[in-house]
Structure formats: structure tokens, C-alpha cells
Structure 1
Amino acid sequence: MTVPGLVESAAERFGDRIFLRVGDVTRTYAETREAAATMAGALAARGCRPGDRIAALLSNRIELVDLVLGCAWLGAVVVPLNTGLRGRSLRQALDAARPRFLYAEAESAAHAAAAGHRGVVWPVGGEDVPRPGVAEAIAPAPVRPEDTAALLFTSGTTGSSRGVRCPGAQFVWWGRNVSDALRLTSDDVLFTCLPLFHTNALNTLAHAMTVGASCVVGGRFSASRYWSQVADARATAVYLLGAMVPMLLARPPGPDDRAHRAWRGLSPATPGPLWGPFRDRFGVTLVDGFGSTETNLVIGATPDEYRPGRMGTVREGFSARVVDETLGPVADGTPGELLVRSHHPYAFSTGYLGDPEPSPGSWRRTGDRVVREPDGWFRFVDRVKDVIRRRGENISSSEVESVVRSHPAVAEAAAFPVGSDLAEDEVMVAVVVRPGSALDPEDLARHCARELPAFAVPRFVETVPALPLTETGKVRKAVLRERGVTSRTWDRAAVTSGTASPRSTWTASAPRPGSPP
């Protein structure tokens, strides 16, 4: 139940099978074990010791995979940092992690220096950087399942990111749980272009090792090139995020849509109405589930049994409950916060950096509002912090977004609260117009009024060329909330009262200015 154990077991079972392709580098399982052992030797030769924290500011490249596996083999702690961090956010992460060493690309190394990092820096391409094959292989360290293998920082969409202590056993359980949910076998090829500094893509390596599949790691997500990359990888399974699905559907149909072998994809938080169109157009069945950096695949579906817009059912070895603000249980069909618990030792993280370790088997709060249906299927409602409170009612931003996206002129949408004169929230939506379409905000408001209760119909609408996203495709609603209502925002109340122009049509080819950064 450790990462070195997983690497060794996979090498013994699958030997000459292709495990990994990153850029121009291809490795078998046996070669991967040798790379981990010699990378660990190279790290040790440069003064790294078990327990040391070694940070990385690297994009999806073989050096990051080598560092992850080499650190695990040595018993060091890898700290993959978001390459988009700058200034204060980067300084906070470095101050929290306190790494002795940093492996970074040139631009990121400069940002780290400006943020105050004073430890040893290994620049990519440098002559003295640790790399596999240039040092003697060493035996794997006697790590325990509960020992921290990686320190992963959360996305920080609603506040400062926090470092999560991820033990080796957590990665092993990710491999077992997700490979089972996706029905992976040794014949599969997995493709991910999500960043390796987050748990989704990083755990793809464990999914492959569990069953002997191949894993292809692509570069940054591009909607225009995505399906050609999937075809080039000869992938049979893909990894998406809910925000990526509408981006792909918004593209004009093309010959690459079906010129690939992929037939299922893990895609958490995909809006229910998009499942059918996605499968019909691209031939890929989407599989949802609940998991986080702090937990594991606690709730999930499979390609054989799924429901659009539902996360799935509780998986074996875990428990889940839905509670109110006092942490008391709520009835099925009632929204509440999701609490989860693992019965597997160290399948969850051992807590946040600086916090005490949670008791084994304790309930973990997720910050997600969900509904448990009477038959045991779970539906995501919202992040607790994203709930909009208006006229005494709790409004799900996820539900508002789903209705707004169902308008034929809308490609993407994000709903969020803004203040009002009545000391409550008003509903605002930022909308990306579908290419070749025009959006009349009054028509959108009427569309919402047909599908939503009156208190949930957006008051404010503004079009933007693109939504502000994190590196993992999550909408940065804090950016939208901070920006709020501007002089370019359409106000339904002002139109109704006759104090504003009653109609303004927006098109994708000429987006309104003032989009968020």
C-alpha cells in the first residue's frame, strides 16, 4: 500500500508493456521502475533525504513524472505546485511547504525567486539536475502506507489554497477505485491533458499501474486540438472536467469528433443536459463521481450504470451522509452538506498542512451541498460557499447555470451572488455566447423564468469572451464576485422599471468588453 510497492508490483506483472508516454519519451513498466530507482539515487547524491520536501514548478513533462516517482522511491515528499502561481499566492505556498529543493522551468524559477524561495533550485535542462540513468539505482525506502508521499495544494477557488498531506496508500486506493469504476483493463490507453500538479491527472498514473494499462500525458487542454490528440494517443479512456465538456460541444462539428477510439471518460461535475449530446456527437460515455484531493472516489458511477446529472452511489469501503448546518442528518431529497468516511486505512489524506491528523475513520466535511435520493444516488447541488441567498430562499448556482446553458445561444455560464440594497444576494450570471449566435438578455431572462422559480431568475447578465478558470478548469467565482456589476451589465430590474434601454443583443463575434481576467 505504498507508491514504491505499486511501482514494483506493476513492473513485475507487466514488465515490457508500455506504461507511459509523455512528449517524445515512452517507457515500459520495467523501465519505469529503473527510472524511479535511479532518479532516487540521483536525488540522494544531491543531498536529498527521506522526509525532505522537494517542490516542482513544472508543466506536463517527463521530468515531473520522474520527480514524483523518484521522491516516492527515496521516501521524500514531492510538492507539485501550480505553474500559474505568482507573487503572493506562490509565496504563501512556498512559505507553507518550506521545500529544501525546487525543480522548475526557467520562468517559474524566476517567479519563485521573486516570491522569496532561497533553497536549492534545479533548472530544467541544467547540467546538474537530478535525472534517471545518471546515478546508481538504490533500494526503495522502507516507507509506510501512512507516510506522506505528496503535498498537494488545493485550487483555492474560494480562498487561499491549502496544502493537503497525501499518504502513499491514498494513491494506491485511487488506482483501485477509479480503475474499477471505469472498468479499465491492460488493453486500455488512458489520455489526460489535465495538469500533473493536481490529484486528478497525478492519480492517472496509479490507475494505469493497477491494471497494466498505458497512460499518455498531453500538454495543456485545447478544445480545438483535443480530439486529434485523443486519436494520436489511441486512447480508449479520457479524463475531463465538467467545464471542459461545454467547451468541446461549443466547437463546430468536425471530422475529428469521431476519429478516435475513446468510448468512456471520467468527467466529474458535468451538467446533466450535456451527457446525451456529448455521447451522441463524440461517442464517449461520461462517468461522474465524487472525489477530492482530501478524499478518494467515495461516490461514483460506471460506464454501464450511470444517470446524467448524478454523481453515483457510495462505493464499497466508504460511507456518506447528508447533514444540515448543525451536522444533523436530513431526509432523502433534502439538500445538505456531504460528509464522507473511509473504512480503508489511509485511503484519505491525513489532513491539511499544519493541522492535527484526523482520527482514522472519522467523518470529513466536504463543503459540497448534495441531495441523496431515496434509491441511494447522489446529486450535486452546489458548493456550500456558492449558495445564493435571496428572498429567504437558498438558490443553487449549479441549477441556475444548467438552465442558462440550455439556452441555444449560450456556450458556458457561471452564476454567482452579488450584493443588493436589501442586505441579501442578487443573482448574476456571466455568459459566454455560442460561436455564430447572438444573445438577447431579455430572451435569456424569459427562458430562465420558464424553468426556474421567480426568486432564482438572474437579475444581472453580462457576456464575457471566456470564464476565468483555474489550471484544472474550475471557474474562479471569487474573481467574478469581486468584479460584480459593472456599467456593461444588463439589469433586468432596470429594464422592468424603464430606467434602462430595454434591449441589447450580444454576439460571440463581438463580445462586450470588460471580461474578467
Structure 2
Amino acid sequence: MATIEIPPAESILASPPERSSYCPGPRDTVVHALARAEAKNPDRIFIDLAGTKYSYREIDRLSTRLAHALAALGVQHGDRVVSLLDTSIDVFTTWFAANKLGAIWVPINTAYQGEFLRHQISDSGTKLIVCDAHYLERIVAIADQLPEVQLVLSRGPGPFPSCPIAIAPLDEHRGNDEAPLPVVVKPADLATLLYTSGTTGPSKGCMMSHNYLCMQGRQQNRCVQMTAEDVQWTCLPVFHGAALISVLGCLVEGLRCAIWPRFSVSSFWSDLEQAGATKALLMASIFPLVAHAPDTEAMKRYYGRLDMISGVPITPEVRKIWKERFGVRVVSSWSYGQTEGVRLSMVGPDEIPPEGCAGRVADEFEVMIFDADDNPLPDGQVGEIVFRPREPNIMFEGYWKRPEETLKVWRNLWMHTGDLGRLENGYLYFVDRAKDYLRCRGENISSFEIERAFSAHPDIAELAVHAVGRQSGEDEVKATIVLREGATVTHVEMCHWAIEKLPYFAVPRYFEFRAELVKNPTGRVLKYRLREEGVTSGTWDREAAGIEVRRRK
């Protein structure tokens, strides 16, 4: 690498400053962070891919070689490089190689195909795609709708399918030139486009600067506080924002990250044991699945060795199991953010915030609660969560090629999240997605809070609480539920359980058991589809069954 003339990033392993002493963080880039880590500890393991380990020196050299090769193919500053890759070393070499050229890395969810895939590739305006060979047929199927794409580099051997776009083996373009590249990126330059899920319309590319990515890493380390002996483990794909944050946290401090290609209940503890994991970043359904899984010898051996897990959501019941059964010291689910701004709230690993909150407002942001007319609301009142940065380039730079969409959410000098919440004593409480908020029997109802209550039922694998038909002034509430394998609970039993656990006005009128929930390719439940489907032939109606729910005295 070329000599890096940028002040070393300040240590971020200490507790965050008090708001009164807040000062902006260091300006940084992904390229400079990698160069610093390689210069300081070149042989330290950066990435452990299910047992195959790569040091900072190896990843720096591999990405430099690929950067030279991509430059020879015409990739320049500002160009987009799409990757459609399973978890492998090529995810990282493609990312860093693109950024070393000043190009913009565009990771795409490997579940995408058809229109979902076409939209993101076309919208990014890329000329070059790097993908696994088993995804080539998906690209071939939409190739005639991708006029800007000039070349696909396939990770894996041929022969390749016939395609109007040129396909070449990635192995022939990995490069061998390790000569230092000139540093062509600044903190404000774009490093990646990360596309939103698009639950109600086409997904939008969030423009993310180098400084924004590095800030996410610094925040991650304030939450987790790793040392040189720690290993951060995740089984989430790197195109997922949460996994990306995990990697960035290690990158900016030169630490070690272990990434497993998939989650397995049966091998979970042996996977952690193999990696030597001390911290783990997980998601949603993984927490209860592991909490209720049978004992294994690896689980017993690993008792107390996993210091911390983090992710959302984690119920108090599940948190208790992880602490007592597995000896995990810190079980953290206190954070809130979105691709456009991460994290807006958080806590340190030793802080115990009020139950149900999403953490304390992060030092980097101003966060307020607005009413429908953008007037600030006092503490305790529910309204839309809005935010703005205290320094430049620490949130997204807008939606790619969609200035009108950017202006729509960025109005009156505040970024509007579309989420409802409240503030109390500096802590942020997430209430619901605005479009999923319900009103029944004169009461406002959070589908999120009802779902959290239902998650304590031992027979429920996942569920969605939503309105029936178009939401209006008064909604009929339905719970669409996926039961755990072997569960025998009936609609009537589920209804009576809800009556005991929920406020009378929040007990759903309708219940339906399904084999699966309708989701988009990123795994987000499409509640608007469930609302449109309404009362189906498989829906059970509490009122038709003669069960009344009344206020308790």
C-alpha cells in the first residue's frame, strides 16, 4: 500500500463521552483503516471463514492484486462493482479492491432473482458483476434487460452458459501485481450502495460514504468493547447490514472476525468452539431457537466462554436463558437504527437500561419525536422518530439516483424514519412501523409489542400481527402464526392464552396458522400482503366462536 497520511484513528474501546463533552470522531476511509491494521499487525487474523483464516496482510495483498486487475478491465473511480457472492474470501477482496480504486461496492442479496435482481443491478448502473458460478443462470435470465453490464466474472469453473453479456473466470482476473496503489479516496467518497428491502415498492440504494462505514465500526466497538484476544462471530451474510457492521468493527481496530456461512442449531456451539468466539452477533429467530435447543456436549464445554451476544429482538425470558443456561455475561438487544442511519441508539456492554427500550440516544445524532406536522413531542408521547447528524458523513448520503425520494424523507432538516417511538430520560423506545400501527376499540396498538408478547408462547416459531383489509380509523386485528414443529395448540387455546397475556383491546379477533409467512427475499414479512389477503378460508374468528373479550375490573 502507499504511505497513508491520515491521523491514526483514536481508540474507541473506552466508554463514550458524556453528551456535554461530545466531539466529532476521526475522519476515516475503509482503505486507510485496512492499511493501518496491516501496518500495525500484518499477521493478525482478520477473517476466519469457518476455519479458513486470512491475515490482514493476506487480505490487503489479495485485494491489491484484484484492484490492479479490475483497473485493467476499466474500473475507475466512482464506478459500481456488483457482487452476488456467498460468504467467501472473494466477498472481501472484491469489496476492498473496488474501494482501493475509488469504486463503489454493491453487495446484493444472494436470494434475489428475476425482477428483484434485475432492479438492483440495473439501478446501480454497474458495468461489472462478480458472482458465484451457480448464480450465472439468474443473470442469464435477465441479461437482455441489463444493457450497461459489460462483463461477469464467475467464481467457479466453466463451461459457462450462453449469454449476451461476456462471462469470464474470476481466476483469470485475480491479478498478481502487488505494487502499492495511489490512495484515491476521501472520507466523504462513496464506498458502497446498500439496497433497502423494498417491502412496499422498489428497493432504493442507500449511498454510504467511507466515513459512514468506519463510524459504524467505531460504534460497534463502543457497544461490544473487544480486545486483541476477542473473536467476533456471526453467521449472517456480509451483504446483510448487521454482518457488515461486525466486520467494520474489527477492521477499524485491527481485530478478528469469524464468519460462518450458515446457521445450524445442532452445530451452533461446536462452530463457536472452533472459532474461539467470545462475542456473537445474531438475529431474531436464532435467539429462541438456541435457547430452547437440546443440550450438546459442545454447549456444556463452552459454558461461560461466550462473553456477549447482541442483536434484536431478545425477550426478557430468552435473555435469562442465555445468561443462566449458557453463562453469557452480556445479552444485549438495546439498539435502534436503519440503513440510512446506524446506530441511532445504543448502550455500552456494562450498562443495564430500562427493559423494553432500544438504548440511549447515540452521541453522534440528535433524535427527536415529531407529530404528523413535524412538531416536537414531549417525553413519553408516541410519534415519528426523526434524526440528524452532529457531524458530516455519518449517515447515508441519500438514495442513489432518487433525489426526490431523499427529499421526501429528509424534510424540515430532519431525517424521517417512518417508525414510531417515544423518548424517556434519554432512552429511545421503538413502538412500531408507522404503517403497521393499529387502532382498535379506541386504543392505539403496536403490532411490534403484540408480536413481542406472543413470542413468549412456546409453540410459536414466528408470527405477524396486522390489520385485516385496509387500515382505517378502527382496525380488526389478526395474528398470522407459524407454529413450531410438533405443536398441537388450537386456535381456541391460542386465543385464551392471548386473553391472559394482552390488554383486552389488543387481543386479535382473527387467528390463522400457516406453514410460512409471506416474505421478500431479505426475509422481511410483507404485512401489506397479509392485510390484503384479510380473512381467508383458514382464518379462525374469535367473535364467530362466541368468545368475548372485556376489560378486566
What is the TM-score with the length of structure 1 in the denominator? 0.89
The percentage of aligned residue pairs carrying the same residue is 34
Q: Is contact 1:273-1:309 (8 Å) kept?
A: no
Question: Residue 385 of structure 2 aligns with which residue?
Answer: 338
Question: Residue 39 of structure 2 aligns with which residue?
Answer: 12
User: CA separation of 1:105/1:481 partners in 2, compared to 1, >3 Å: closer, same or farther?
Assistant: farther
Question: Residue 157 of structure 1 aligns with which residue?
Answer: 199
User: CA separation of 1:50/1:360 partners in 2, compared to 1, >3 Å: closer, same or farther?
Assistant: farther
Question: Residue 399 of structure 1 aligns with which residue?
Answer: 449
Question: Residue 413 of structure 1 aligns with which residue?
Answer: 463
Q: What is the identity, as a one-letter code, of the residue corresponding to 1:174? A: Q
Q: Does 1:368 align with 2:419?
A: yes
Quick one: distance in 2 between partners of 1:377 and 1:134?
A: 52
How far 1:132 moved relative to its partner?
A: 4.7
Quick one: distance in 2 between partners of 1:306 and 1:479?
A: 38
Q: What is the identity, as a one-letter code, of the residue corresponding to 2:340? A: E
Q: Does 1:454 align with 2:504?
A: yes
Among 34, 55, 58, the alignment partner of 1:31 is 58
Quick one: distance in 2 between partners of 1:348 and 1:361?
A: 17
User: CA separation of 1:469/1:61 partners in 2, compared to 1, >3 Å: closer, same or farther?
Assistant: farther
Question: Residue 121 of structure 2 aligns with which residue?
Answer: 94
User: CA separation of 1:226/1:160 partners in 2, compared to 1, >3 Å: closer, same or farther?
Assistant: farther
Among 334, 343, 347, the alignment partner of 1:301 is 347
User: CA separation of 1:58/1:202 partners in 2, compared to 1, >3 Å: closer, same or farther?
Assistant: same
Quick one: distance in 2 between partners of 1:400 and 1:393?
A: 13
How far 1:473 moved relative to its partner?
A: 5.0
> Helix, strand or coil for the counterpart of 1:496?
coil
Q: Superposition pairs for residues 338-487 of structure 1, below 5 Å?
A: 338-356=385-403, 362-373=413-424, 375-419=425-469, 424-468=474-518, 474-487=524-537
How far 1:429 moved relative to its partner?
A: 1.3
Q: What is the identity, as a one-letter code, of the residue corresponding to 2:154? A: P
Question: Residue 504 of structure 1 aligns with which residue?
Answer: none
Deviation sequence 1:19-75 (CA, Å, 0-9, x none)? 112246421122222222222112112221111111111111111111011111111
Q: What is the identity, as a one-letter code, of the residue corresponding to 1:33? A: D
Quick one: distance in 2 between partners of 1:401 and 1:233?
A: 34
Gap runs ≥5 in structure 1: 499-517
How far 1:377 moved relative to its partner?
A: 1.6
Q: Is contact 2:197-2:520 (8 Å) kept?
A: yes
Quick one: distance in 1 between partners of 2:531 and 2:286?
A: 22
Q: What is the identity, as a one-letter code, of the residue corresponding to 1:109? A: L
Question: Residue 171 of structure 1 aligns with which residue?
Answer: 213
How far 1:170 moved relative to its partner?
A: 0.7
Deviation sequence 1:58-103 (CA, Å, 0-9, x none)? 1111111110111111111111111111212222212211110011
Question: Residue 269 of structure 1 aligns with which residue?
Answer: 313
Q: What is the identity, as a one-letter code, of the residue corresponding to 2:344? A: V
Question: Residue 170 of structure 2 aligns with which residue?
Answer: 129
Question: Residue 209 of structure 1 aligns with which residue?
Answer: 251
Q: Does 1:195 align with 2:237?
A: yes
> Helix, strand or coil for the counterpart of 1:329?
coil
Q: Does 1:291 align with 2:337?
A: yes
Quick one: distance in 2 between partners of 1:421 and 1:265?
A: 37
How far 1:314 moved relative to its partner?
A: 1.4
Q: Superposition pairs for residues 130-145 of structure 1, below 5 Å?
A: 132=174, 134-145=176-187
User: CA separation of 1:466/1:29 partners in 2, compared to 1, >3 Å: closer, same or farther?
Assistant: same
User: CA separation of 1:432/1:249 partners in 2, compared to 1, >3 Å: closer, same or farther?
Assistant: farther
How far 1:456 moved relative to its partner?
A: 1.4
Question: Residue 65 of structure 1 aligns with which residue?
Answer: 92
Q: Is contact 2:265-2:293 (8 Å) kept?
A: yes
Quick one: distance in 1 between partners of 2:473 and 2:237?
A: 40
Among 115, 125, 146, the alignment partner of 1:117 is 146
Q: Does 1:310 align with 2:351?
A: no
Question: Residue 246 of structure 1 aligns with which residue?
Answer: 288
Quick one: distance in 2 between partners of 1:128 and 1:70?
A: 17
Quick one: distance in 2 between partners of 1:306 and 1:286?
A: 10
Deviation sequence 1:308-363 (CA, Å, 0-9, x none)? 43211012222211112112112222222111222132011101112337799952
Would you say how many aligned residue pairs link Structure 1 and Structure 2? 497
Question: Residue 510 of structure 1 aligns with which residue?
Answer: none
User: CA separation of 1:256/1:438 partners in 2, compared to 1, >3 Å: closer, same or farther?
Assistant: farther
Q: What is the identity, as a one-letter code, of the residue corresponding to 1:264? A: M
User: CA separation of 1:103/1:187 partners in 2, compared to 1, >3 Å: closer, same or farther?
Assistant: same
Quick one: distance in 2 between partners of 1:464 and 1:140?
A: 56
Quick one: distance in 2 between partners of 1:41 and 1:58?
A: 20
Among 61, 64, 67, the alignment partner of 1:40 is 67
Gap runs ≥5 in structure 2: 1-27, 158-167, 549-553
User: CA separation of 1:478/1:206 partners in 2, compared to 1, >3 Å: closer, same or farther?
Assistant: same
Q: Is contact 2:513-2:538 (8 Å) kept?
A: no
Quick one: distance in 2 between partners of 1:476 and 1:8?
A: 42
Q: Is contact 2:480-2:514 (8 Å) kept?
A: yes
Q: Is contact 1:105-1:123 (8 Å) kept?
A: yes
User: CA separation of 1:422/1:385 partners in 2, compared to 1, >3 Å: closer, same or farther?
Assistant: closer
Quick one: distance in 1 between partners of 2:320 and 2:526?
A: 27
Question: Residue 323 of structure 2 aligns with which residue?
Answer: 279
Choose 12-21 or 155-164, whichever is displaced more: 155-164
How far 1:382 moved relative to its partner?
A: 1.1
